[in-house]
Amino acid sequence: MFRELLSRETRLPPILGVGLAAVLMGSVAVATAQASLPSRQERMAAEKAAVVEARAVDAAAAAHASVPQFFFVSPLAGYAVNSPFGLRKMPWEEGGRLHQGVDIAAPAGSAVRATMGGVVLRSGVDGGYGRFIEVRHTGGLTSFYAHLGRIAPLKAGAVVTPGQVVGYVGSSGRSTGSHLHFEIRHDGKPLNPVVFLGRTFKTEVDLPLALAAQFPRRVRVAQVSNWPERLLARKTAAKETPVVAVARADGRVRAVIKPAAPALGPSVDGPRTTPSATPSARSAAEASPEEVISTAS
């Protein structure tokens, strides 16, 4: 019996030691967990930082949303449109037709810039437009630059930025003087570039497409600084009314169609008679000042 009790007593300390160790380890774990929890000040600081970050994100999103998607740069800043969008009749034409863009007279070699960022759609040489380049923009818009003296080294697919040089003013193709023919189209439909130039529009919905597609039904009579050589030769051979270039005070050239000199009939047969002016001269004479369009050379 004594030996049995003694054996039991020897087993008690290890059992008590294991239990005490477990209790101590649990206390340490609880203390560690409590120590890892953020304090009240830390929680408040974290919440404040989250609020500040959320406000910054909202402000950035609002700023991005307020940036206009469409901003149209003038392709020739400092030079005015001298032949507008609309129905136009050249002196050698019998009837009017739609001038699908605007003409901007400028000295040869002036840099022509992209009205917006986009991708070069095509470039090349055309019998009528001469050297040209066309750029595709967002929103179904394209811009077209013609009668260039030289095209910038940009191939189809090249990315251009707003205001990047795409060519230089010239008088290539069927042109009557140094100028840029500039068009803006939406899904292939010609629009009045003046409605867009120098303006910004927030989204595609804000683009004034309907307004830009309108034009007066009155036919404007164009006057040019010089005629295409083949037409001038034909006119001279037919002894028609000549066109004389007159320099204005500002140095630009304006063409004036001079009426034919009055023919004198025989004095013995009756009074002197004055023949009617040719259609070209009569059209220019009857045109009101606002209908006359000058193209600088």
pLDDT by residue (tens digit) across 112-160?
Answer: 999 999 999 999 999 889 999 999 999 999 999 999 999 999 999 999 9
What's this model's pTM, rounded to 2 decimal places?
0.59
**Among positive and negative, which fits the CA dihedral 235, 181, 188, 208?**
negative
Q: How deeply is 89 buried, as exposed, middle or buried, from its count of CB atoms within 10 A (0-12, 13-18, 19+)?
A: buried
Q: Given a cut of 90, is residue 270 above it in pLDDT?
A: no
Q: At 11, is the pLDDT very low, low, confident or very high (cuts 50, 70, 90)?
A: low
Query: CATH 3.30.450.20: does it fit domain 71-217?
Result: no
Question: Hey, where are the domains in the chain?
Answer: 71-217, 229-294
Would you state the pLDDT for residue 155? Answer: 92
Would you state the pLDDT for residue 22? Answer: 58
